Structures are given as C-alpha cells and as structure tokens.
Amino acid sequence: MKRSIILVLDSFGIGATEDAVDFGDVGSNTLGHIAERCARGEADNGERSGPLHLPNLTKLGLGKACEESSGTFPAGLDAGAEITGAYGHAKELSSGKDTPSGHWEIAGVPVLFDWGYFTEHSNSFPKALLDRIVERANLPGYLGDCHASGTQVLDDLGEEHMKTGKPIFYTSADSVFQIACHEETYGLDNLLELCQIVREELEEYNIGRVIARPFIGPGKGQFERTGNRRDLSVEPPSATVLQKLVDEKNGEVVSIGKISDIYAGCGITKKVKATGIPALFDATLAEIKQAGDNTIVFTNFVDFDSAYGHRRDVAGYAAALEYFDKRLPEILELLAEDDVLILTADHGCDPTWEGTDHTREHIPVLVTGPKIKAGSLGRRETFADIGQSLAEYFGTSDMDYGKSFL
Ligand SMILES: O=P(O)(O)O[C@H]1O[C@H](CO)[C@@H](O)[C@H]1O
Ligand SMILES: [Mn+2]
Ligand SMILES: [Mn+2]
C-alpha cells in the first residue's frame, strides 16, 4: 500500500540560500535564530522557557540538516542524538519566496516566471485597478492601499473600516492583494464576493493570490483574525505530482488546512478544514488512519508563519515547534510498512529578521518511514526533489524538475 504524508511547517527555513543576497536575506535562519534566542534565555513566555527542546525532530535529522545548510548546528538541540531518518536541505528554484511558489515547487512545479508585485509602500495599487474594483463591487471607497503587517493594519484602520464600510486593502513583499474586513459588520460572504471580483480584475497583473482576511472584535487592540481566511490562488502552470497521482493512478490527495487553496484545488480530491496547530494535527491523524492505497495526506501548518513568523514572535514560534515536536510520535506510530512521511517547509520567515516579510532560506527535507534509510540527503538543488521522489514512489510519469532521493 503506497501512502505519503507531507507536513509543511509553513515558513520553517533552516538557513539562507546562496541567492539570499538578491532578497536582502543573507544570514537569515528561522530555526537557527530561534534556537539561539532560546539558548540565551531570550525566548521565554508563559508557555515555554530555556533552550529549544525538539527531541523528535532532532532524531529525524533536523539539527544536522540545519548544520549542513548554514554551517552551524542549532544551539540547544542534541548534536549527539541517534539519527533515524533521512535528512537534507533544499534550495528554491522559483523566483519568489512566497507560499504558492514554495508549495508548487515541492510538488514538482517550480515557478520560473516572475510574479507581479505591488512594490510601492503607499498608494500601492494602480488607480485604474482600484476604480474598477470600487465600481464593480459598489464600494463606498477603500482604506489602506499600502504595504502592511496584517495585524498592525487592523489596529490602524479597523475602527474606521467598521464605521465606513470601506474594506482594507494591503499588500506585502509577496505577490498578494489582501483584503481585511470585519466578519460581523461587513460580513464574510460580502468579503468573499469582493475577493472574487478582485481576483478577476487582477488577471492582467499576474498576482499570485488574493487573500480574504476576516477579523472580529469590538475595537482597536481587541481585533483578532479568524480561521475563515481564504486564499484565492491562480492555478499552477503545469500538472503537479498531486495532479498526476489523481489523473494517472486514480489516487487520492487529501488537503488539510490551506493546501487546497494554495493549489487552487488542482489535484485535490478531499478538503479538510481545521484552524490552529492542534486541530490541524488532529485532522492529520484522523486522515492518516483512513487513508488507503495511492494516497497523499498533505497538511499545511500555517500558524508557524502567520501567527509567529510574520509577527516576529520568537517565543511563540519556539513554543509552537515544541508542541509540534511533542505530538510527532503520534504520527510516527501510524506509519505503515511502505509509508513515506516528509516534513518540510515552503520558505523562511525568520522571526528575528527586520521587517515582517518572508526570508529566502533552504527548507528542511526530513523523510522517514519503516523502509527509509537513515542518513544525509545533502543539499538538494530544488524543492522539486520532493515532487520527483513522490512521482517515483507512486509510479506516475516523471516531473520535469527535481531528482528523486528515494
Ligand atoms: O501580515 P500578514 O497579513 O500576516 O501577511 C502575510 O501573509 C501573507 C501571505 O503569506 C504575506 O503576504 C504576508 O504579508
Ligand atoms: Mn508560506
Ligand atoms: Mn507568509
């Protein structure tokens, strides 16, 4: 029985890539810097304290993969632990350091074209585009129109939005058009409808995603984003290994969390929604228990990125990693004879880095299962090595990019 479980710890980079210089990210290291802060006692919060404690991920080779990526073994992890998995680190071929690029490349389809970006920090969106959106969606106007952190922008403009009914438009270094609206005063359906209009109007701008950012709360300082976020992505430029498994092998691909949104539903046969790392973890366990032959169970743990990486919350990121690590054996126990478990990431988001954007980093490629030989997979030239390995494992046609490590 062939099954693969892919767990993406969104933004969990393990050291800057050679081309990080093009992104202003030389020296970034999401894991390395979190571990350093923890070891110095600078990442204590109510939930955790002291050196970073990730014994299960360390056994799978996380520390060694980070060392091979960056030259430094992460502070506080056990350098002498016996390694039971195959571990490596991978470079990104795609032009951007964003979520769709990272995920598509993992599935064997790197993004070799350039996305469109809204590079101006204020008045970010073209006037002609905004005019069309206002007209089509019959809006009283809009707020924002700038680069922003999605939580800060709620404090700055949330109350005005509630008063005026004008949606908040913002973007970032990513190829995104983000729209924040109050779930109760503006309404979730209205927001999703607006996002659909914006998605259509962006056709000529080559923008990767429109993101609906619903929030709740009575006023400044009390706003919270809800689990009803939706990502409206364009479709991957060619068939991913997910699509090939479905089309060529009549296989199943189970999306947990925002995976389906990121692939615009392409190659997904079942969608499971869950919010927050504990619920995503529970859903993953439940789906592994049910999964049959020729199945991929694919989970994105977005909170590492959205709740901790972008928020530059080192202690929060560390606590979330420790939670994940503690529960990892529950998944390992479910692995059947031929199963292949892959733990990886889609880009970095170093919480010690300046600004609030992603960082161009190697991703970890941790592979385990009863038949997987322990040891180093070294530096992989592209995230697509994962997709190519899955193509080989499931016996689909080859991907155009990547080299199998199986
Ligand atoms: O600051 P928030 O709203 O979390 O936005 C972040 O989330 C978006 C998608 O990953 C990125 O473009 C980044 O701007
Ligand atoms: Mn991401
Ligand atoms: Mn992000």
ipTM: 0.96
- Report pLDDT digits (tens) over 131-179: 999 999 999 999 999 999 999 999 999 999 999 999 999 999 999 999 9
> How much is the average pLDDT of 355-372?
97
Q: What pLDDT is stored for residue 23 in this prediction?
A: 96
346 belongs to an annotated ligand binding site:
yes
Sign of CA pseudo-dihedral 77, 79, 83, 88: positive
Host H or E run for residue 142: none
| Tens-place pLDDT, residues 288-345 | 999 999 999 999 999 999 999 999 999 999 999 999 999 999 999 999 999 999 999 9
Q: What average pLDDT does the structure give for the chain?
A: 98
pLDDT of residue 243: 98
pLDDT for the residue numbered 262: 97
Average pLDDT over every residue of 225-241:
97
Contact status, residue 370 vs residue 337, Cβ threshold 8 Å: yes
Q: Which pLDDT score, from 0 to 100, does residue 363 have?
A: 99
pLDDT at site 355: 94
Residues 360-367 have a mean pLDDT of: 98
- What pLDDT is stored for residue 174 in this prediction? 93
pLDDT computed for residue 199 by the predictor: 98
Q: CA-to-CA distance for 322 and 56, rounded, in angstroms? A: 10
Give SS3 for 286: helix
Query: Residues enclosing ligand 1, CB less than 6 A?
Result: 99, 149-150, 172, 174, 176, 178, 211, 306, 310, 356
Instruction: Determine contact, residues 350/359, Cβ cutoff 8 Å.
Output: yes
Helix, strand or coil, per DSSP, at residue 271:
strand
* SS3 call for 341: strand
Which residues lie near ion ligand 3 (Cβ < 5 Å)? 305
What is the pLDDT at residue 374?
98
In three-state secondary structure terms, 365 is strand
Q: Which mutation among 115, 211, 359 tests ligand 1's pocket best, with the greatest number of atoms within 8 A of CB?
A: 211
Pairing between strand 176-182 and 209-216?
parallel
pLDDT tens sequence across 1-37: 999 999 999 999 999 999 999 999 999 999 999 999 9
Nearest residue to 186 via CA among 217, 211, 210, 144: 217
DSSP class of residue 307?
Answer: I
Name 230's bridge partners.
212
Rounded to an integer, the average pLDDT of 232-244 is 98
Question: Is 19 within any annotated ligand binding site?
Answer: no
The ligand 1 atom nearest the CA atom of 148: 1
Q: Whose CA is nearest to atom 2 of ligand 1?
A: 150
Q: What percent of the chain has pLDDT over 90?
A: 100
pLDDT at 2: 98
Please, which pLDDT band fits residue 57 given cuts at 50, 70 and 90? very high
Phi, psi of 207 (to 5 degrees): -95, 130
pLDDT computed for residue 77 by the predictor: 98
**Amino acid present at 24:** G
For 170, which DSSP code? E
**Is 131 annotated as contributing to ligand binding?**
no
- Percent of the chain topping pLDDT 70: 100
Question: What value does the CA radius of gyration of the chain take, rounded to a whole number of Å?
Answer: 21
Which candidate, 309, 390, 290, 381, places its Cα nearest to that of 347? 309
Mutate to test the pocket of ligand 1, among 306, 312, 353 (most ligand atoms within 8 A of CB): 306
Nearest ligand (C-alpha, residue 345): 2
The one-character DSSP state at 114 is P
Distance 310 CA to ligand 3 centre (A): 6
Whose structure tokens read 């990886």? 344
What confidence category does residue 266 fall into, taking pLDDT thresholds of 50, 70 and 90?
Answer: very high
Integer Cα distance of 329 and 336 in angstroms: 14
Q: What is the pLDDT of residues 72-83, one digit of tens each?
A: 999 999 999 999
Taking a 5 Å cut-off on Cβ, the residues next to ion ligand 2 are: 10, 99, 305, 346
